[in-house]
Amino acid sequence: MTAALVVEASPRGAASLGRQATALLLDRLRARHQPWREIRRDLADTPPPWVDAGFAAAMLTPPDARSAAQHAALAESERLIAELETTDLLVISTPMHNFTVPAVLKAWIDQVLRVERTFRRTSAGKVGTLAPRPCYLVVAAGGVISPPAARQPDFLLPYLRAVLATLGVGEPLVLRLEALSGAADAPAQVAAATEAWLRGLG
């Protein structure tokens, strides 16, 4: 059975063009991978907690030395990491907010990217502890973010690639949905771009 984790960050709900594209991608993946099990993590609906002092102290305390309160401080982090550990395919759907990831997606990353838990520090650099798996990124942007026509910086994709590499997941396949702001036919454009991208996957 293929187990997939779907992480969505758009605050626009059903009106989100990125979510609409993600639905098309998931239809394709479900058809290809049967039987199929799916975990949905809607970060806009249920934002992860922010990292606070208690979390930071617990994270840096060896597991066998943690107090009950420190274990409680890491409980949600452990649940989110378990979702990654028990699935073998990852889909992240996100808008670009102010050149980078939305705050709720950053909060999720801060919960799952933990030293000596999902990556280890070595003399050769950080090494992820998660198994490599297929990973898909659906990125929606109001402006143009792809060179050579980009009119704004893109800190989102380099950052997410670095995060996924540090976790051990590997290099993602990326669907960029661009120039969406003010486009009257944006839904049709997104559908066409997504279908063309899916055909390119083979």
Is the model's pLDDT at 108 over the cut of 80? yes
Q: What is the pLDDT of residue 115?
A: 96
pLDDT value at position 183? 77
Question: Which residue range forms the structural domain that includes residue 45?
Answer: 2-201
From the list 52, 143, 39, the residue with the least C-alpha distance to 98 is 143
The stretch 121-134 carries a mean pLDDT of 95
User: Which among 31, 70, 37, 33 has a CA at the least distance from the CA of 52?
Assistant: 70
CATH of residue 35's domain is: 3.40.50.360
Q: What DSSP designation does 161 have?
A: H
Dump pLDDT digits (tens) for 167-182: 999 999 999 999 898 7
Helix axes 17-32, 186-201, angle to 10 degrees: 30
* Mean pLDDT computed over 107-124: 96
119: left (phi over 0), alpha (psi -120 to 50) or beta: beta
Radius of gyration (Cα) for the chain, nearest Å?
18
| pTM recorded for the entire structure | 0.96
* 24 to 55, 84, 141: CA distances (angstroms): 37, 22, 18
Per-residue confidence (pLDDT) for residue 151, from 0 to 100: 85
- Looking at residue 184, its pLDDT comes to 79
Work out how many domains the chain is built from and give that number: 1
